[in-house]
Amino acid sequence: MSFASPLFLWFFMPVTLVTYWATPRRLRNHVVAVASLVFYAWGAGPYVALLASAILVNFAAGIAIDSPRVSARGRTAVLVGAVAWDLGILAVWKYAGFAARQIDALSTALGLGHGPVVDLALPIGISFFTFHHISYVVDVHRRSRPAQRGLVGFVTYITMFPQLVAGPVVRYHEISAQLADTARDRYADFAAGFPRFALGLAKKVIVADTVAPIADAAFAVPSGEIGAATAWVGALAYTVQIYFDFSGYSDMAVGLGMMFGFRLPENFARPYSACSVTDFWRRWHISLSRWFRDYVYIPLGGNRRGTAVTYRNLLVIFVLCGFWHGAGWTFLCWGLYHGGLLVAERALGWDRPPGGVPALVLRRAATFLLVVAGWVLFRSADLSQAAGMLGAMAGARGGGLDEFVLFSLDHRRTAVLVLALTVVLLPASQSLGRLLERGRDGAARWAVTAARVAVTWVAAPYAGVLVAAGTFSPFLYYQF
């Protein structure tokens, strides 16, 4: 069930909100937990059993780890077992098919015949709820937060439908206190959350879904035939699409969380305004970067054990980050690409803010181009297609626009693409989401009022019309 579907917008969300508000405070987490399981079962069907098994294992592990009767060695053993269980689920359901294809290719190349065949459907949201489980058992083991003693509170954290399928990645210590605080102001929460939800819906339906056909047409051109103009238009269209699609989902998730009284972490901070790739990763998918920092980078030693270890840790993190996004060589190379860029920036001292406006402009432009090139790897079906597009973008092949790309560039899509790209030129601090949340004084209040009116009464209704017309598509990050 997509947030941008008629079923969700006009049935599931209002019914769940009304039920939540009408329920006594002590039972509100029960409403969220049940609604979240229904939401997941609706989209994932029988895979809800897989989610339930992971929930029960990690809930029991948390209680054991937090028990004073369990020794330090026993607590560590339970932690290792729970993390192994979580990663095992992820490995089987997300990566077994990829591993089988590599074994088959190697076996065939060696003349040994075909290897094993594994073809498992990917349960939606598996990467996200796996990371939530790991965060929970690690935080409890670190004694940073106590374990959940009630199953309902734990189910609410893991399955909370605003963030269950595509994040943000909510670390347990960020929300554990909120799970216990059910004395929420439903009117203030709704007033704060609905404009944010409406902003996300508009970003997804009006911008991302509008430019998606341009990117699809460009990436459908055979890699040996694609020209420079087509490659650049396709890369820029996908750059716009993935940002407005994913940040739109995150805005909707944050807004939904607010309407239910939860404050979920921010996930974006104008990433295309970054002045380095290091800065980009402080602004893009922030919750994922923080998860890797807390649970992988720092335990590996972070930057405390010398330059060589720091570089190694950065590469490890981004290989894992790439592979987390998908079981494919393109994702692995995308992670290596970004990890290599971060290592190079740290070695050259370019990870620090530039001095002066000219240097800032040049660094922002260079970073944007590097990110666009990375998105070609991310979007391509295989490395051959990525090489063809990147080669065309580098000038290896001339040529005008492909006829299907030209057909996709009607007046409305072209206007939306151009307007969306101009966002890159705005100051890095100008974030509409933050304006909606934090503008409190003077001119900011007028700006907030204007933004709320535009989003709530103009953009959101128009997006609703488009949804009713059946023009929405699934969120890109549902596949991860």
In tens, the pLDDT along 13-64 reads 999 999 998 888 889 999 999 999 999 998 888 899 999 999 999 999 999 9
Interacting residues of 232 by C-beta distance below 8 A, sequence separation 6+: 393
The token pair at 268 is: 């974006």
| Alpha-carbon gap, residue 32 to 19, rounded angstroms | 10
pLDDT of residue 388: 93
Left (φ > 0), alpha (ψ -120 to 50) or beta: where does 11 sit?
A: alpha
Cβ atoms 191, 452 nearer than 8 A: no
pLDDT of residue 478: 67
pLDDT of residue 349: 87
* Alpha-carbon 12 to chain mean position: 23
Cβ atoms 198, 455 nearer than 8 A: yes
The token pair at 72 is: 């330090």
pLDDT of residue 435: 56
pLDDT of residue 439: 54
Q: Which amino acid, 256?
A: L
pLDDT of residue 13: 92
For the question of residue 285 being annotated catalytic, the response is no
* Nearest alpha carbon to residue 316 among 327, 308, 304: 308
pLDDT of residue 429: 63
Bond prior to 168 in cis (omega within 30° of 0): yes
Q: pLDDT digits over 328-367, tens only?
A: 999 999 999 999 999 999 998 888 888 777 888 899 999 9
- Domain extent listing, the chain: 6-183, 191-275+353-479
**Residue 418: exposure state from Cβ atoms within 10 A (0-12, 13-18, ≥19):** exposed
- Provide φ and ψ at 19, rounded to 5°: -60, -40
pLDDT by 10-residue block (mean), the chain, 480 residues: 82 92 89 94 89 96 94 94 95 88 82 75 88 96 93 95 88 91 75 88 90 94 89 95 93 93 92 94 94 94 89 94 91 96 92 82 93 96 94 82 88 92 74 56 62 65 66 66
Which of these is catalytic: 30, 325, 338, 411? 325
**Residue 383: exposure state from Cβ atoms within 10 A (0-12, 13-18, ≥19):** middle
Interacting residues of 399 by C-beta distance below 8 A, sequence separation 6+: 226, 227, 228, 229, 230
